[in-house]
Amino acid sequence: MAAAPVGPGAAFFEVLDRHRASLVAALRRGGPEASAQGTRLASRFEDSVGLQMVAHCTTRKIKSNSLKSVKKFALILKILSMIYKLVQSNTYATKRDIYYTDSQLFGTQTVVDDIINDISCMLRVPRRSLHILSTSKGLIAGNLRYIEEDGTKVHCPCGTTAVAVPSNIQGIRNLITDAKFLLIVEKDATFQRLLDDDFCNKMSPCIMVTGKGVPDLNTRLLVKKLWDSFHIPVFTLVDADPHGIEIMCIYKYGSRSMSFEAHNLTVPAMRWLGLLPSDIKRLNVPRDSLIPLTKPDQGKLDSILKRPYITCQPFWRREMEIMAESKMKAEIQALTSLSSDYLSRVYLPNKLKFGGWI
C-alpha cells in the first residue's frame, strides 16, 4: 500500500491559511471576491463576475426567406432538433459527435461550434443544459477524490501521473479534498515537469490543473467548481509573456466569446503566482534565457492594458509595464538556467510560503 503524501507541515501554510480566511470573509461580505449566482446580464465589466454581456448588445437576424442566411437558418434548426432529442432522451453528445452526423452538410467543425454558442447565448443557458459536451484536454492531479456521473470513483494521484478532466463537470459529485491550494499551470510541459519533480507530494495537500494552453470549457468549469465547493486559494503559473497573461485572464475574468456564461466559468479570487516579470530581474535570470517581445506581443500587451479589469489590478498593471519597458518576455523554463529543479524546489515553495502572489 502506497504511503500517504507528506507535505511541508502546518507552519509552511500559515500565510496561505490567512489568505484563505480573507477570501472566505470577502465571500461572506458579498464583496468583489464573492462568486456571483444566477444568470444575469450586465452593462459593464463586474469585478465579482468577469466579462459580462451588455444588456443592449448588437443582435443579428437569420431569416428563412433570405438567400444570404437560409443555409445558416437550416443548420440552426437541424442542431436544435438534435438538442431536443438529446434532452428528451437524457443523453449527451460532444460537438464532434454532432459534426460527424453530417460532416458534408456542416462543412467544418467551426460551423457547428459557432452555432452551438449562438444557441446557448440566444436561449441564455449553459451549453451543458443543451446536453452538448466538449472533449476535455485538461489534466488534474493531487489531493482530490470524486464520483463521476456513471458512478466511477476517481482518486487523483499525487505522484508522477495525472487524470483527464471529466467531460461532464456538472455530473461529478461527492468531491473530497483537504488541499490547501489549487495551482493552475499554463503549459502541459511545465505541469509534467512538476509531476516528475514530485511537486504534489512535496507540497501536499494541494491540487494541480492544466488546460494545456488556452483552457477548454471543461477545465474552466472544473476550476470554478473546485472554487465554489471548497473556497481554497487558486493560483496561476504562466509564462511571463502576453499570451500567458491572456490565459490567466480567461480563468479569472472570462473571454468575450463566452461572456454570456461568465458567472459559471470565472474565478475572480484567483491570484497570479508566477512567473512575474519582476521576478526575472529579482532572480537575476540570465538575459540569454529571455526572448524579445515581437510586434504582435506588444500589440497584445497594449490590448490587455486597456481592458477594464486591469484598472482593478494595479499590481498586474505594474508587472505588464515592467514587461513593456524591458521589451523582453520569459517562459517558465527560463528558471532552469538557475538550476534544473529551481521551479519546484525553490521558486514555488518560497512563493507559497511567503505570499508571493498578486
Q: Report if residue 187 sits inside a domain.
A: yes
Tally of structural domains, the chain: 2
Distance CA 265, CA 252 (A): 9
Residue among 144, 296, 297, 276 nearest 208 (CA):
144
Q: For residues 110-139, give the mean pLDDT.
A: 85
**Do 269 and 305 share a domain, yes or no?**
yes
Q: Report if residue 225 sits inside a domain.
A: yes
Confidence of residue 240 (pLDDT cuts 50, 70, 90): very high
Distance CA 222, CA 218 (A): 6
**Do 204 and 299 share a domain, yes or no?**
yes
Q: Report if residue 197 sits inside a domain.
A: yes
Q: Report if residue 231 sits inside a domain.
A: yes
**Do 241 and 342 share a domain, yes or no?**
yes
> Pairing relation of β-strands 93-94 and 132-133?
parallel
Domain boundary among 133, 154, 186: 133
Residue 133 or residue 65, greater confidence: 133
**Contact present, 93 and 133 (Cβ < 8 Å):** yes
**Contact present, 194 and 186 (Cβ < 8 Å):** no
Percentages helix, strand, coil for the chain, rounded to the nearest 5? 50, 10, 40
**Do 242 and 293 share a domain, yes or no?**
yes
What is the CATH number for 299?
3.40.1360.10
Confidence of residue 139 (pLDDT cuts 50, 70, 90): very high
**Do 41 and 97 share a domain, yes or no?**
yes
Question: Quick one: pLDDT at residue 38?
Answer: 33
Distance CA 146, CA 124 (A): 29
pTM here is 0.81
Q: For residues 280-308, give the mean pLDDT.
A: 94
Listed in sequence order, the residues at least 6 apart from 160 whose beta carbon sits closer than 8 Å to its beta carbon are 195, 196, 198
**Do 143 and 99 share a domain, yes or no?**
no
What is the CATH number for 101?
1.10.10.10
Q: For residues 232-253, give the mean pLDDT.
A: 96
Question: Is the pLDDT confidence value at 59 over 70?
Answer: no
* Helix, coil or strand: residue 261: helix
Question: Quick one: pLDDT at residue 46?
Answer: 56
Q: Where in the sequence is the domain holding 65, given as residue range(s)? A: 34-133
**Do 188 and 40 share a domain, yes or no?**
no
| Catalytic residue ranges | 100
Question: Quick one: pLDDT at residue 57?
Answer: 55
* Residue percentage of the chain with pLDDT more than 70: 86
Confidence of residue 65 (pLDDT cuts 50, 70, 90): low
Domain boundary among 98, 133, 168: 133
The predicted-structure confidence for 258-292, as pLDDT tens digits, reads as follows 666 667 789 999 999 999 999 999 999 999 999 99
Question: Quick one: pLDDT at residue 41?
Answer: 35
Question: Is the pLDDT confidence value at 6 over 80?
Answer: no
Listed in sequence order, the residues at least 6 apart from 72 whose beta carbon sits closer than 8 Å to its beta carbon are 62, 115
The predicted-structure confidence for 9-58, as pLDDT tens digits, reads as follows 888 999 999 999 999 998 888 765 544 333 333 434 555 555 444 455 55
Poorest-pLDDT segment among 57-61, 189-193, 292-296? 57-61
Question: Is the pLDDT confidence value at 60 over 70?
Answer: no
Poorest-pLDDT segment among 249-258, 291-300, 315-324? 249-258
Measuring CA to CA, how many Å separate 217 from each of 87, 187, 328, 344? 20, 16, 31, 28
The predicted-structure confidence for 153-170, as pLDDT tens digits, reads as follows 999 988 888 999 998 888
Q: Report if residue 6 sits inside a domain.
A: no
Helix extents (H) in the chain? 14-29, 70-89, 95-101, 103-106, 109-123, 188-196, 199-202, 217-230, 242-253, 262-265, 277-282, 295-305, 314-326, 342, 348-354
The pLDDT mean for the chain works out to 86
Q: Report if residue 27 sits inside a domain.
A: no
Domain boundary among 117, 133, 149: 133
**Do 159 and 82 share a domain, yes or no?**
no
**Do 264 and 315 share a domain, yes or no?**
yes
**Do 143 and 128 share a domain, yes or no?**
no
26-32 LR contacts (CB < 8 Å, sep 24+):
26/269, 27/231, 32/268, 32/312
**Do 249 and 349 share a domain, yes or no?**
yes
Question: Is the pLDDT confidence value at 217 over 80?
Answer: yes
DSSP category for residue 241: S
Q: Report if residue 26 sits inside a domain.
A: no
**Do 44 and 172 share a domain, yes or no?**
no
Confidence of residue 64 (pLDDT cuts 50, 70, 90): low
Q: Report if residue 214 sits inside a domain.
A: yes
